[in-house]
Structure 1
Amino acid sequence: MAKRFTAITVPWKELEKKVPPDQRVKFLAFKAKADSYFRRVQANPPELPKIDWEKYSKIVSNQAMVEKFKKEYEGYKVPYPEDKLSATIDEQWKSLEPEIIVFCANLDKEIEMARKELDTMKKLPKFEDMTMEMVRDLFPEQALDPVKNPTFWPHDAESQLDYVPDKPKPNK
């Protein structure tokens, strides 16, 4: 017979930390539904209620019927599905763990790079306070240089005199 769950084993606090803010309402609805299922299971006793068969055998005149009901009641077992997938899932999880660790390490590196970039952006003066000279000094590769490289407005590649469009690739 399958075991009865007597306590909630889901780490809701840890799970809640990982939920994005825009999904919080759905997460709370899911948690409420899971809690209601758990309460409904806990409201029922783990075993079938005990019946006083002696009392029924005294009241009912047909003893064969009481014995038949007793035999069927005590012989009834709630059919629980056999767990055939847990071992497969555990094997898949063990094979995926190294990939997950590598993926998380790569994400941590990207997060660190993004933090460094944010720190450099925070050190810049406010946009309102920047002058064109400051932009040229801070971002020389992106700044306009009218002396060495004059361009026409709107200063994109297609608006320049020496622009040559890419030839379309022939259809095969």
Structure 2
Amino acid sequence: MAKRIATSSVNWAALAERVPPEQRGNLTSFKTRSDSYLRRVMANPPEPPKINWAHYKQIVPIPGMVDTFQKQYEALKIPYPSDTQTAQVEAQWKEIKQQIESYVQASNANIAKYQKEISETKALLPYDQMTMEDYRDAYPEQALDPINRPTFWPHTPEDQPENFKADPNAASAH
């Protein structure tokens, strides 16, 4: 026979911490239903009541009928379902744990990179106190460089001459 569960194995306090506030009512309702089901199960005895076969043999007039019922009743075995899913769940949990750990490592690397960028930005002069030379020193790839990389106003990449393609029909028009 299967073992009798005496108490709920659900940690309701830990579960309540993870439930969003808008779902707390549903969790409370579910916990109430679960507790009432557990109380109903616990109200019944763990074993079915014993049948007094001798009493029925005296009362039932048909000979052998009670013996037949007794044999059939005692031969009846209701199997307790076997656990076939725990191994799969554990395997999935191991995979998920590895994914979580790799995500945490990647996130920590990103956090370290962004912390470094924040500290570099905090180390800069405030923009309202920065001169064009200070800006060029801080951001050489973005600063205007009229000697090495001359540009035309409005100094945006799409407005520079190298981005304009020569029109092949313009030469043949003359």
Match of 2:37 in 1: 37
**Whole-angstrom distance in 1 between the partners of 2:103 and 2:30:** 28
How much is the aligned-residue C-alpha RMSD, in angstroms?
Answer: 3.3
Higher gyration radius (CA): 2
- The 5 A counterparts of 1:108-147 are none
Matched, 1:22 2:22: yes
Q: Report the CA distance between 1:75 and its aligned residue.
A: 1.8
Aligned to 2:8: 8
Residue 27 (structure 1) shift: 0.9
Q: Distance in 2 between matches of 1:9 and 1:59?
A: 46
Give runs of aligned pairs for residues 71-110 of structure 1, distance below 5 A. 71-103=71-103, 106=107
Separation in structure 1 between the aligned mates of residue 88 and residue 39 of structure 2, nearest angstrom: 30
Counterpart Cα distance in 1 of 2:59 and 2:46: 28
Q: Percent of aligned pairs with the same residue?
A: 41
Unaligned runs of 5+ in 1: 114-137, 141-161, 167-172
Per the TM alignment, residue 4 of structure 1 is displaced from its structure 2 partner at its CA by: 2.4
Give the deviation of 1:9 after TM superposition: 0.6
Local SS of the residue matching 1:97: helix
**What 5-or-longer segments of structure 2 have no aligned partner?**
115-125, 129-153, 159-174
Deviations 1:62-104 (A, max 9, x none): 2311111111222222243332211111111122212234445
Q: In the alignment, what sits opposite 2:49?
A: 49
What amino acid is aligned across from residue 18 of structure 1 in structure 2?
R
Name the CA shift for 1:34/1:75 in 2 (closer, same or farther; >3 Å).
same
- Structure 2 CA distance, aligned partners of 1:58 and 1:29? 51
Quote the Cα distance in structure 1 between the aligned partners of 2:103 and 2:84: 29
Q: Distance in 1 between matches of 2:57 and 2:80?
A: 32
Q: Secondary structure of 1:84's partner?
A: coil
Instruction: Report SS of the residue matched to 2:64.
Output: helix
